[in-house]
Amino acid sequence: MGGHRSVYFRHDFVPFKICEMKFQRCKKMKAKEMTKLKTKKAAQKRFSMSKHLGIKRAQANRTHKLRKKAMSCKRPLRNQVIISRSNESSIKQMLPYLN
């Protein structure tokens, strides 16, 4: 079919010195400020920090099918639980500003 067609973009015609200056300016700006870390909003709604013990979470099995569960089973589910140390690092990664 057709031969090779070269495609030109607008940024190909920018002089080298201008490109170099823009790159240096961006480099300086990045060196001054570190970007903010984003918080995972789903994790923020589920976890909170306790004063001394660590990160708290709500218990499972509290949403539906509660009619057939005995009150003695439902009562302990009201309390929050401290998460295990093995999961703590992954949750802290999701919540960088958790105090």
| CA nearest neighbour of 81 among 54, 62, 45, 63 | 54
Q: Which amino acid is at 45?
A: K
For the cut 70, the answer to whether the pLDDT of residue 20 exceeds it is: no
Residue 72, domain CATH: 4.10.410.60
- The count of structural domains within the chain is 1
Cα separation, 15 vs 62, whole angstroms = 65
pLDDT value for 2: 58
- pTM score above 0.75: no
DSSP letter at 25 equals H
For the cut 70, the answer to whether the pLDDT of residue 19 exceeds it is: no
On whether residue 87 sits in a domain, the answer given is yes
Higher pLDDT, 4 or 67: 67
- Chain segment 26-60, per-residue pLDDT in tens: 655 555 678 899 999 999 999 999 999 999 999 99
On whether residue 21 sits in a domain, the answer given is no
On whether residue 46 sits in a domain, the answer given is yes
| CA nearest neighbour of 46 among 28, 60, 26, 31 | 60
Domain span including residue 56: 41-94
Taking the CA of residue 78 as centre, how many other CA atoms within 13 Å lie in the half-sphere pointing to its CB?
A: 5
